[in-house]
Amino acid sequence: GGIVYLPHPYAPGKGGSGALADELAGRAHVVEVLNARLHREELNRKAEALARRRGKLRGAGSDAHTPGEVARAYVEVPAHANEASLLLAALASARIAGTTSSPLVHFASTWAKVRKALPGAPSLDTWKKKGIT
C-alpha cells in the first residue's frame, strides 16, 4: 500500500551518479524531477527525462537542511482523500513548482558536519549573531 519515491536520481555524492537510476526508476511510482539543492540544472533535467522515458509520475523536494530552504520546491496536487492510490491519481495532474536554493546552503550543511567533529566549535547561529555570516 505504499508509494515508492526515487529522490534526486542524479545528485552527485549521494549515490545518484545515475548508474542505477534507470533500474530504480523502473521500481518507483514517482521520480523526483526538481530537487532544490541541485544547482546544476542539467541534473534536474536528466531526472525529468528519466521520468518521462519510464512513464513515471513526477515529484519535487526542497531537500531542506536549514529552515530557509523549506518549501523551495513542491508539488501542487488536487484535493484527494488520504489514500495512496488517490495520491497517485492526483500526482498525474500535479504541478511541479519552486526554485533552487542558494548554493551557499551547502556551507551550513558542511559547517554542521565540521561542528560535530570539533568539540566546542561555535554553532552557525553564534556566527550569525556576531555578523560573520
Looking at residue 45, its pLDDT comes to 97
Residue type, 92: A
Average pLDDT, the chain: 87
- The angle formed by the CA atoms of residues 104, 97 and 35, to the nearest 5 degrees, is 45
Res 33 pLDDT > 90: yes
Cell of 60: 519535487
Res 15 pLDDT > 80: no
Whole-model pTM: value is: 0.79
Residue of higher predicted confidence among 72 and 119: 72
Looking at residue 19, its pLDDT comes to 77
Res 126 pLDDT > 60: yes
- Picking from 41, 58, 57, 46, the residue whose alpha carbon sits closest to that of residue 22 is 46
**Radius of gyration of the CA atoms of the chain, in A:** 17
Res 127 pLDDT > 70: no
